[in-house]
Amino acid sequence: MIAVGASWGGLKALRAVAHGLPSHFRVPITFVQHRSKESAALRDLLQDCTSLIVCEVEDKQPIMGGYIYLAPPDYHLLVDGDAFSLSVDEPVRYSRPSIDVFFESVAERFGPEAVGVVLTGANEDGAAGLRQIAARGGQAIVQDPRTAESPIMPRSALRAVPSALSLPLERMTPYLISLATDAENARPRRASGGDEVRA
């Protein structure tokens, strides 16, 4: 699972990430973007620039490859087994969806098969969650703050996870594709194999 968090300036950055993903990309990827309750257009704006299916998550929706999942506004997004689940618990640091809440649940569920990506934003959401992904052996990636529309969120993520890989936006998608290819190649050698949803 690739978990991507974005806030201020996120639309442009998420479009850039989505745009470069090939139609055969099979790792589930999820965008958590801070936005107002009423904003319904984000899904369409993202769909316009990718051949993968962009899907605003509904409760208990199974996680599958070939999709870009989008956290719905005004809910927290979590993963539960092989499906998503939602909650209307209080906002965390004024945000619902909270990137930290999603990343934490991805870390718990996917461990070393989780990839966390923190993009542009004007708050500190995502830093604690990214630390958890790293602590459980997952991969931490942060947009190079110098290339971010708002560098605050990437900077705080890098402070929380100094070992995170910092990449300019244009290198983000090629890197994710190479990760997915590596995971694909490594799969047959894994002892546990099976039907599990994998990163």
Partner 1 sequence: MAVQIEPGSKDRGIEASKAVEVATPTVADITAAAETSAHGYDPNLERIEIQLLLEGIYRHYGFDFRAYAYASLRRRIWKRIDSDHLRTISALQDRVLHDSAMMERLLLDLSINVTAMFRDPGFYAAFRRDVVPALRTYPFIRIWHAGCSTGEEAYSMAILLEEEDLYDRARIYATDINEVVIQKAKEGIFPLDRMQEYTQNYLRAGGTRSFSEYYTAMYDGALFAPRLMRNIVFSQHNLVTDRSFAECNVILCRNVLIYFDRNLQQRVHKLFYESLPMYGYLALGSKESLRFTGFEDNYEAVDRREKIYRKIQ
Q: Which amino acid is at 27?
A: V
Among the listed residues 13, 42, 46, 104, the single contact to partner 1 using CB under 8 A: 104
Measured over the CA atoms of residue 136, residue 118, residue 99 and residue 49, the dihedral's sign is: negative
If phi > 0 it is left, if psi is from -120 to 50 it is alpha, else beta; for residue 76 that is beta
Backbone angles phi and psi of 142, in degrees to 5:
-130, 140
State the minimum distance, in angstroms, from the CB of residue 99 to partner 1. Answer: 12
Query: Which is the catalytic residue, given 95, 100, 125, 156?
Result: 125
Among the listed residues 107, 157, 164, 167, the single contact to partner 1 using CB under 8 A: 107
Relative to beta strand 115-118, strand 2-6 is: parallel
State the minimum distance, in angstroms, from the CB of residue 23 to partner 1. Answer: 24
State the minimum distance, in angstroms, from the CB of residue 110 to partner 1. Answer: 10
How is 93-144 classified by DSSP, letter by letter?
TTBSS-HHHHHHHHHHHHGGG-EEEE---SS-TTHHHHHHHHHTT-EEEEE-
Between vectors from CA 22 to CA 17 and to CA 24, what angle results, nearest 5°? 135
Contact call for residue 31 and partner 1 (CB under 8 A):
no
Q: Of 118, 106, 100, nearest to 155 (Cα)?
A: 118
Among the listed residues 109, 149, 151, 180, the single contact to partner 1 using CB under 8 A: 109
Contact call for residue 123 and partner 1 (CB under 8 A):
no
Residues 32-71, one symbol each (x = binds partner 1 by CB under 8 A, - = not), give ------------------------xxxxxxx---------
Catalytic residues: 7, 34, 125
Residues in contact with partner 1 by the rule CB under 8 A: 56-62, 72, 75-76, 78-81, 83, 85-90, 92-93, 100-101, 104-105, 107-109, 111, 128-129, 131-132, 135-136
